[in-house]
Structure 1
Amino acid sequence: MPSRRAVLSLLAASVVCAAAHADGGDDPFGSLQWPDLKREFFGTAKVVFDGKVQVQGPSFAEDPMNVPISLRADASLGPVEEIVVLVDRNPIRKVLSFYPQQALPSLSFRFKLEQGSPVRAFARTRDGLWHGGGAWVDSSGGGCTVSGATRKDGSWTQTLGQARGKLFASSPVGGENASRLRVMVMHPMDTGLVGGIPAFYVNRLAVRDEQGRELLRLATFEPVSENPVFSFDFPGRVAGGLRLTGTDNNGNRIEGRIEGRIE
């Protein structure tokens, strides 16, 4: 018969395991980095892996500096206030935060991947709950620790901050009335992990209507790919006169017009 101490130890272990499971310990990837990741970015907030956030990416990233990722949150979640994208095994783990506002909770973009890793998206609903999903992307590595093409040839100085966008009358998500917006910003997006090149990246982007009201907003970080392209989806037709605005971490302003008019 086990001793009283052994019984107490087993009970304590059960409590710890139960707490870990309720607090996001049921990580579908079994990642060793997940507990630290959760503590750093979510604190005491509740995180669940419930299949309502989908992340799509390549099984193997042939170009680790330009890894395509698409994500979306299921409509059953209701309004989504924020989506955070994290990469467990990148030296800089946070890729971006997306605030959909008038847009659908879906996003496509490219990022830098240092080594094979879970790539995760978490959607925060109005009740404060974070819903998580992800995809494993393998890689030959090195995406965060080498210079981009425009940094190597010096052409970034001629194109820095140039931005443009285009509206499309259809979207692969959101139903038959949905529309898509694609924007591009010219920027080297330096991670600061290459010798002699400090971190230099776009840190804020917003799409505004003719009255200057924000329709969506992004906070972006070093792992986003050079000359980033983002695709957003709207539940209906979007009027023209939209503007893309933003800044980088050195205070340079970004402004561009969006072509097309969908009403």
Structure 2
Amino acid sequence: MRLKHAISLLFLLISPTLWANSPPPDDPLKSVQWVTMYNLFLNKHPVIFDNHVQIIAPDSAEDSMHVPVVVNVDGLNDIQEILIFADFNPLPKVLRFIPNNARPYIGFRLKLQQATPVRAAVLTSTGWHVGGIWVDATGGGCTLPSTGRTTGTWETTLGQIRGRLWAERTPARAKFQIMHPMDTGLAKGIPTFHLEKITLAQTDGKTALTLEPFEPISENPIFTVELTTPQTTMILNAIDTNGNEFKGELKQ
């Protein structure tokens, strides 16, 4: 009896989430990894699949190291963050996007190791709103070295920033590139090395948006975002996992 009581008590101590969280909703994409993704990233808030969260991506990736994705959210308020992840990637977490004073819209490219759902989860005061799409990929996107590593040129361009603003557009738009190898740590002999935080701010210091890229973001990443307050000049700051800091200006 003592042993049985001790085992029951231990189970309660190590498994509180089994009692605190509801089971995940059924996945419309029928991914066997959905429950794992839910437990890793989403189970602290209610989750619903929501057509207001739109993902645009190719049905089949021509280049597994540079798969274009656009996330656009319409009709949701009080957005706290947007988390993008790919179920079957060996490193599933792709990007966290906090649209402080920006529209919940972002375009970028990512690396895929195999066919996978790519999802965006939008956190609001009512919980996570999730959208997703299957993308077929031939594989290898996460385990191959970057082009810069292969050619040995990445150090000469590291941290260079290019970009532009379209303040007259409605909504205003910004597009920028930061040169960086974005190493996943899965290519033989190459450690993890990637951008980990990017902020875009107005000249008065007010933050327009914050990005937290993870390993699957493509080499020399390009981001396209939409802004709620038009500016003719904005300040871009970035830091990588080695503590390197990069700064630049975007102008109209």
1 CA distance for matches of 2:190 and 2:228? Answer: 41
After TM superposition, give the deviation of residue 169 of structure 1 in Å: 4.4
What's the counterpart of residue 101 of structure 2?
102
What's the counterpart of residue 56 of structure 1?
56
- The one-letter code sitting in structure 2 at the alignment partner of 1:93 is P
What's the counterpart of residue 86 of structure 1?
85
After TM superposition, give the deviation of residue 182 of structure 1 in Å: 0.4
What's the counterpart of residue 8 of structure 2?
none
Structure 2 counterpart of 1:233, from 226, 232, 237:
226
What's the counterpart of residue 65 of structure 2?
65
1 CA distance for matches of 2:80 and 2:251? Answer: 27
What's the counterpart of residue 243 of structure 1?
235
Asked if structure 2 preserves the Cα contact closer than 8 Å seen for 1:23 and 1:47, the reply is no
- Does the residue aligned with 1:38 lie in a helix, a strand or coil? helix
Where does 1:113-132 land on structure 2 (aligned, <5 Å)? 113-127=112-126, 129-132=127-130
2 CA distance for matches of 1:35 and 1:43? Answer: 10
After TM superposition, give the deviation of residue 209 of structure 1 in Å: 1.1
What's the counterpart of residue 155 of structure 2?
157
1 CA distance for matches of 2:182 and 2:117? Answer: 22
What's the counterpart of residue 166 of structure 2?
168
- Does the residue aligned with 1:105 lie in a helix, a strand or coil? strand
- The one-letter code sitting in structure 2 at the alignment partner of 1:116 is A
Percent identical among aligned pairs is 41
Asked if structure 1 preserves the Cα contact closer than 8 Å seen for 2:87 and 2:117, the reply is yes
1 CA distance for matches of 2:111 and 2:54? Answer: 20
- Does the residue aligned with 2:102 lie in a helix, a strand or coil? coil
TM-score for both structures, normalised by structure 1: 0.85
Matched length:
232
What's the counterpart of residue 141 of structure 1?
139
Asked if structure 2 preserves the Cα contact closer than 8 Å seen for 1:204 and 1:248, the reply is yes
What's the counterpart of residue 256 of structure 1?
248
- Does the residue aligned with 1:106 lie in a helix, a strand or coil? strand
After TM superposition, give the deviation of residue 35 of structure 1 in Å: 0.5
Unaligned regions of 5+ residues in structure 1, if any? 1-18, 172-176
- Does the residue aligned with 2:41 lie in a helix, a strand or coil? helix
After TM superposition, give the deviation of residue 179 of structure 1 in Å: 1.2
Asked if structure 1 preserves the Cα contact closer than 8 Å seen for 2:197 and 2:240, the reply is yes
TM-score for both structures, normalised by structure 2: 0.88
Displaced runs of 4+ in structure 1, greater than 4 A? none
Check if 1:206 corresponds to 2:204. no
- Does the residue aligned with 2:24 lie in a helix, a strand or coil? helix
After TM superposition, give the deviation of residue 235 of structure 1 in Å: 3.4
Structure 2 counterpart of 1:182, from 165, 175, 180:
175
Asked if structure 2 preserves the Cα contact closer than 8 Å seen for 1:83 and 1:121, the reply is yes
2 CA distance for matches of 1:205 and 1:157? Answer: 20
Asked if structure 2 preserves the Cα contact closer than 8 Å seen for 1:58 and 1:68, the reply is yes
Asked if structure 2 preserves the Cα contact closer than 8 Å seen for 1:86 and 1:95, the reply is yes
- Does the residue aligned with 2:148 lie in a helix, a strand or coil? helix
Asked if structure 1 preserves the Cα contact closer than 8 Å seen for 2:25 and 2:48, the reply is no
Unaligned regions of 5+ residues in structure 2, if any? 1-18
After TM superposition, give the deviation of residue 79 of structure 1 in Å: 2.7
